[in-house]
Amino acid sequence: MGDLSTNFSRHEFQSKDGATLPKDYPTRELVGRLEGLRAIVGSPMTILSGHRSYDHNRAVGGATKSEHLYGRAADLEDGYATVDQAAAAGFRGIGEKDGYATHVDVRAIPARWSY
């Protein structure tokens, strides 16, 4: 049992450089949609990247206004969920590789891109 929801805990979203995770990150909407995606897929997921500090985001070549900076995005392991499954869970930002969603977010304006 997670401390954010049934299946997710704050530590899964911690920036990889150890920067403090802001109190209200990740957003409730992101966690809720991740729970929905987990239910659609039917198996646990691994969050590869959740929140990113500005320094870490810059170091990994992230977009200057990345949704990761604001607790609204997660990167998933390759092959976990299809783009259609991510869309069915309500994600508006979906980065895909070979038909699988590797980045999901809850941005205001829908966007899709390929890696």
For 6-41, the pLDDT digits (tens) are 999 999 999 999 999 999 999 999 999 999 999 999
Cis amide bond preceding 26, omega within 30: yes
| CA angle at 1 for the pair 43 and 14, rounded to the nearest 5° | 85
Beta partners for residue 112, in sequence order: 94
pLDDT band at residue 92, thresholds of 50, 70 and 90? very high
How many CB atoms neighbour CB 27 within 10 A? 16
For 48-79, write each residue's pLDDT tens digit.
Answer: 999 999 999 999 999 999 999 999 999 999 99
Quick check: 101 and 86 in contact, CB under 8 A? yes
According to DSSP, residue 77 is labeled: -
Q: Is the pTM of this model over 0.85?
A: yes
Which domains are seen in the chain, by residue range?
10-114 (3.30.1380.10)
Residue with tokens 């869309």: 87
